[in-house]
Structure formats: structure tokens, C-alpha cells
Chain A
Amino acid sequence: DAGVIQSPRHEVTEMGQEVTLRCKPISGHDYLFWYRQTMMRGLELLIYFNNNVPIDDSGMPEDRFSAKMPNASFSTLKIQPSEPRDSAVYFCASSLQRGSGETQYFGPGTRLLVL
């Protein structure tokens, strides 16, 4: 299996621009997670989906952030408009639904820099 795939790997944009991050989970996984990692705040959960349905978006920082999962093999995280404080590494992860505490498999991340 190719693992969790994220694109782009790096993104540099200017403040005010729209940014779209993409994720393809591992085939057959039921859960998909979006995280953000910064030096100051560590790895924070933004939102997660179960069977394409958003379950908990309490970590989404503001209305500028939105996430969708139109099907089992694709999800997007959008920031509009972007701000310099959104600069971080964004990870997507997926897991199975066999029981609680399932292993989460992380993608390589998208490194976002907002100028």
C-alpha cells in the first residue's frame, strides 16, 4: 500500500490567498484526521471524519478553515483567506474502525508558508 498521500508537499503563498491541501487515505480506512503541527503548539487535531462524515471539528481554529470529504478516498482542507499565522505543517492521517485506540497512519505532511 502507498500509505497516506498528501499534496502538495510544500506550499508558499501570500497572505489573503486561498490554500487547498489534499489527502488520500489508505484504502479501506474508515477514519480520516487533519492535524496541524507548529513548534509552539505541537500537533493539534483540527477535524476528523468517520465514513466521510465530519465527527468533530472543534479543533478548527476559525471560519477561514474548512474541510470536506466527498468520498472515501479523498479529502481537502481549505484555508481562505490565508494568514501568516497559518504557517505550519499540516498532516493527514487515517485509521481503521475495528475498535478504540486504532493506529493512526500519518501522511508525509504539507509544509505551508504564508508570507
Chain B
Amino acid sequence: SQKIEQNSEALNIQEGKTATLTCNYTNYSPAYLQWYRQDPGRGPVFLLLIRENEKEKRKERLKVTFDTTLKQSLFHITASQPADSATYLCALGTGFQKLVFGTGTRLLVSP
């Protein structure tokens, strides 16, 4: 069966450290993958897009990798700040504009 797995447990880290979030999938062949941030009571907000022919993408303190062999994406936030505390969702691009979302990982950054 098709599955997208993100750590269901919250990730707690200290301010200034690098947070690494994992997205694993099975029985999908996504052409691209996106990461979104969601704050409580709000809709998801787009962060990064990476396509199947790209290994790595960066944007400011954010970095995402995409390994189609391992069927895994890693999302890194360097020099994390308390303001980075949120739930992060990975989304597989299964069609031209169609996304399938993971259940998200909650990140807590302590001062």
C-alpha cells in the first residue's frame, strides 16, 4: 500500500542546533516533493520544492534533499530559532498539481 511517513513524535532541539526532519515514502514515484510549514490554527505555508532530478535545494537556513532510490527526503533547518517551532509537512507531487501530504512532524525549538 502507499504510505508517507514522517516522525509522529515531536522533535525537540536547542536553539542554534540543526533540526533534521525525515519524510519516507513507499509505492509512490513522485515527480517532485514539497515541504510546508503549518502553525496552530493556520493553513500550511509553502517552503521549498525539489524535483526528482535534483539532489539538494537550499533557501536561506533551509535545505532539502531528495533521494529517489532510498525514497526519502530530509529537511534541515540550520541555526534553529524558537520561531521555527511549528509542524512541518512533506508533500509528494503525484500529478501535475496533485499533492499527497504526510501527517507532519512537530518541531519544538527551545531557547
Q: Looking at the complex, which of A12-20, A41-49, A64-72, A79-87 is the stretch in contact with chain B?
A: A41-49
- Taken residue by residue from 28 to 69, chain A's Cβ proximity to chain B (1 for < 8 Å, 0 otherwise) reads as 000101010000011111001010000010000000000000
The residue of chain B having its C-beta at the shortest distance from the C-beta of A58 within the complex is B98
The residue of chain B having its C-beta at the shortest distance from the C-beta of A96 within the complex is B97
Residues of B near A101 (CB, < 8 A) are 31-32, 34, 49, 51, 93, 97
User: How large, as a class, is the contact surface on chain A?
Assistant: 20 to 34
Rounded to whole angstroms, the CA-CA distance of A43 and B45 in the bound complex is 13
* A74 on the B face (CB < 8 A): no
A109–B32 touching, CB < 8 Å: no
8 Å CB contact of B97 from A4, A48, A106, A108 = A48
8 Å CB contact of B89 from A43, A95, A105 = A43
A106–B44 touching, CB < 8 Å: yes
Task: Give, as a whole number of angstroms, the nearest-CB distance from B4 to chain A.
Answer: 9
B42–A108 touching, CB < 8 Å: yes
Rounded to whole angstroms, the CA-CA distance of A107 and B44 in the bound complex is 8
Residues of B near A100 (CB, < 8 A) are 31-32, 93, 96-97
* A103 on the B face (CB < 8 A): yes
- Taken residue by residue from 69 to 111, chain B's Cβ proximity to chain A (1 for < 8 Å, 0 otherwise) reads as 0000000000000000000010001011111111110000000
Rounded to whole angstroms, the CA-CA distance of A93 and B46 in the bound complex is 11
Task: Give, as a whole number of angstroms, the nearest-CB distance from B111 to chain A.
Answer: 28
B98–A109 touching, CB < 8 Å: no
Rounded to whole angstroms, the CA-CA distance of A108 and B46 in the bound complex is 14
B95–A103 touching, CB < 8 Å: no
Closest 9 CB pairs of A and B: A106-B43, A42-B103, A43-B101, A101-B32, A103-B46, A100-B96, A106-B44, A101-B49, A31-B97
- Interface of B with A (CB < 8 Å)? 31-32, 34, 41-46, 49, 51, 89, 93, 95-104
